[in-house]
Amino acid sequence: MNPIERLGLAALHRLDPERAHDLSIFALRSGLVPLPGQAVTSDRLRLRLAGLDLPNPIGLAAGYDKNARALPALMRAGFGFVEIGAATPRAQPGNPRPRLFRLTEDRAIINRFGFNNEGAQAIAARLARRPKGIPVGLNIGANKDSPDRSADFAEVVRIAGAHADFLTVNVSSPNTEKLRDLQGAEALAALLQGVLAARDALPNRPPVFIKIAPDLDEAALADIAAVALAAPVDAIIATNTTLSRDGLASTHAGQAGGLSGAPLFDRATRILARLHRKTGGRVPLIGVGGIGSAEQAWQKLRAGASAVQIYSALIYQGFSLAAQIARDLDARLAREGVTLAELTGSGNADWL
């Protein structure tokens, strides 16, 4: 972390978390954040995932730039791919404030935003104007007051899907009441059928991913694996935030919402490993949850991920983290003489 970034983070941490988040988006858009300018890449880091060419396997998870306002800057921040959103068909304000909490002692975050966003039309327009570069995906969700939440997902695909490189079906946010019910086998299969039909009508036919919760039991995880393989989806993102509060020290531990950051690492990685085993490596997995170093990215890859995403660690370590993880991962791949493909799933049994 360079001195400018360190000072900027210290200043932001003196502010209300959501105000700091909004200011960080403004700083990115204004060119005030030091960025590498392009993705760190090498022959060892490049990969093809779900038909997408990634310069490196380090992505930005959805939720940071919900409305694609800082997308050109994020595409120059060192990531191999970026996911924005979640987008819903209609704009909605989300849940009442305060709804974002730093758990500094735990290197964690709790949020209960509730899919606050400006709506699929506004987000689609920004996606369409983005510069060429790394793949950019759109996380899609449902309006809180929708009479048919399943249909909302397909509607976002119809509105914005033609401008995205991939689409992520988000049925795992804990902050929209009963949304996680859509992870059930029958409901998920029906939802995906509608999403895939809408996707197939697009000129670009972007790959479709699903994002799952870290709080699934063995039967639910088996159902999701079976539905994903049958649909078929192009990748699974494991995982979203957790409702668990195990082992937290912060005074904010009792806040409602989804927990992300360092405490999520083990829980999310175990789900990832079990999912890799249940799918037999037949669908690519993207590992998310608690990654703050190249070592933790390495462990996600060993557990079964083909690529990873980060978000909460950026709040504590800054945007230079993406490039740092990519460089450190590249050096370790060279040192140990393995490829990304060979690394994926190589330590799966350690997490079961």
pLDDT tens figures, 37-54: 999 999 999 999 999 999
Predicted local distance difference test score (pLDDT) of residue 3: 87
The amino acid at residue 169 is: V
Task: Say if residues 80 and 325 touch (Cβ distance below 8 Å).
Answer: no
Mean pLDDT of 84-95: 98
Percent of the chain with pLDDT over 90: 94
Q: Quick: pLDDT tens for 117-170.
A: 999 999 999 999 999 999 999 999 999 999 999 999 999 999 999 999 999 999
Average pLDDT over the chain reads: 96
Question: What CATH number corresponds to the domain at position 336?
Answer: 3.20.20.70
Catalytic positions, written as ranges: 173
The string of DSSP codes covering 273-323 is HHHHHHHTT-S-EEEESS--SHHHHHHHHHHT-SEEEE-HHHHHH-THHHH
Mean pLDDT of 194-218: 97
260 band by pLDDT with thresholds 50, 70 and 90? very high
* pLDDT above 80: residue 103: yes
Predicted local distance difference test score (pLDDT) of residue 184: 84
**Bigger pLDDT: 297 vs 180:** 297
Question: Nearest CA to 287 among 277, 303, 188?
Answer: 303
Q: What backbone phi and psi angles, to 5 degrees, belong to 54?
A: -110, 130
Predicted local distance difference test score (pLDDT) of residue 179: 80
Bridge partners, residue 108, by sequence: 103, 261
Q: Quick: pLDDT tens for 9-38.
A: 999 999 999 999 999 999 999 999 999 999
Domain count, the chain: 1
180 band by pLDDT with thresholds 50, 70 and 90? confident
Burial 72-90 (b: 16+ CB within 10 A, else e): bbbbbbbbbbbbbbbbbbb
Predicted local distance difference test score (pLDDT) of residue 349: 96
The amino acid at residue 346 is: S
Residue 147 structural domain: 3-351
Predicted local distance difference test score (pLDDT) of residue 4: 86
Q: How many degrees, rounded to 5, is the angle at CA 207 between CA 203 and CA 208?
A: 115
The least confident of 103-107, 175-179, 217-221, 335-339 is: 175-179
177 band by pLDDT with thresholds 50, 70 and 90? confident
